[in-house]
Chains A and B, each alone.
Chain A
Amino acid sequence: MPADAVKGSANTISYIINRGDDILNNLISEAKNGNSNAFMALVENIKAQLYKTAFMQLRNEQDALDAVREALVKAFAGIRDLKQDEFFKTWLIRILINECRRIQNCRGKVMPMEKECDQPEGAHIDENVGSMDMADMLEKLEAMYIEIIDLRYNHDMKMEEILKALDIPAGIVKSRLNTAHKILRKEYAEGREEF
Chain B
Amino acid sequence: MKCEEVRDCLEEYMQGEIEGDKLQEITDHLEACASCKDEYTAMANIVDNIQSVYEGIEIPDRLAEITVNSKRCIFGFGWRNSGNVPTVHGKTLPYKKVVAVAAGLLAIFYVICLLRSIIIF
A residues apposed to B, CB below 8 Å: 3, 6, 30, 32-40, 47-48, 51-52, 55-56, 61, 65, 68-69, 72-73, 76-81, 133-135, 138, 149, 152-154, 158-159, 177-178, 181, 184-185, 188
Count of residues in B whose CB is under 8 Å from the partner chain: 37
Task: Report A173 CB to chain B, min CB distance, Å.
Answer: 11
Q: Contact residues of B with A, CB < 8 Å?
A: 8, 11-12, 15, 17, 42-43, 46-47, 49-54, 56-57, 59-60, 62-64, 66-72, 82-87, 90, 92
Main secondary structure of the interface of A (DSSP, over half): helix
Task: Return B70 CB to nearest CB of chain A, in Å.
Answer: 4
Q: Is the CB–CB distance between A72 and B68 below 8 Å? A: yes
Q: Give the residue of A33, A134, A153, A178 whose beta carbon is less than 8 angstroms from that of B85.
A: A33
CB-CB under 8 A from A55, the residues of chain B are 57
Q: CA separation between A134 and B84, bound complex, in Å?
A: 43
Q: Pick from A40, A77, A135, A178: contact of B84, CB below 8 A.
A: A77
- The answer, among A30, A40, A138, for a CB contact under 8 Å with B50, is A138
Which of chain B's residues has its CB closest to A177's CB?
B11
User: Are A134 and B59 within 8 A (Cβ)?
Assistant: no
Q: Is the CB of A40 within 8 A of B11?
A: no
Given A35-B87, A40-B67, A78-B83, decide whether A51 and B46 contact each other with a Cβ distance below 8 A.
no
Are A68 and B66 in contact, with the CB atoms below 8 A? Answer: yes
Contact between A153 and B12, CB atoms less than 8 A apart: no
